[in-house]
């Protein structure tokens, strides 16, 4: 984390700059319904407790690690049906 200072109106404001892990891929490689420029980007939260998932600038989903684990478990059960 890096601390930056800037002026806002007549007051000095401190801002934090973070490096975060992020992965991006074109959706057409995974989804036959995807359009030409559709993508998925997964960004880990700064505190490591969850993810933001962006789908082609159309939708952002924020989930905790626990919610992510529950989704994986339920999908695994679906695949066994």
9 in any annotated domain: no
Quick check: is 3 in a domain?
no
Residue 57: is its pLDDT beyond 90?
no
Let me know if residue 7 belongs to a domain: no
Predicted TM-score of the model (pTM): 0.79
Higher-confidence position of 57 and 62: 62
25, with CB counted inside 10 A (0-12, 13-18, 19+), is: exposed
SS3 call for 47 = coil
Would you state the pLDDT for residue 38? 96
Q: How confident is the model at residue 81 (pLDDT cuts 50, 70, 90)?
A: very high
Specify the pLDDT at position 36: 93
Q: How far apart are CA 49 and CA 15, in angstroms?
A: 22
Q: Is residue 74 part of a domain?
A: yes
What is the domain range of residue 43? 21-80
If one counts the domains in the chain, the total is: 1
* 6 belongs to a structural domain: no
pLDDT digits (tens, 9 = 90+) for 10-55: 999 999 999 999 999 999 999 999 999 999 999 999 999 999 999 9
């Amino acid at each position: 984390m890096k601390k930056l200072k800037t002026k806002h109106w007549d007051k000095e404001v401190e801002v934090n700059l973070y490096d975060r892990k992020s992965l991006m891929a074109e959706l057409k490689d995974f989804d036959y319904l995807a359009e030409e420029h559709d993508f998925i980007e997964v960004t880990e939260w700064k505190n490591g407790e969850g993810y933001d998932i962006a789908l082609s600038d159309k939708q952002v989903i924020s989930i905790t690690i626990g919610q992510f684990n529950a989704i994986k478990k339920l999908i695994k059960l679906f695949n066994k049906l």
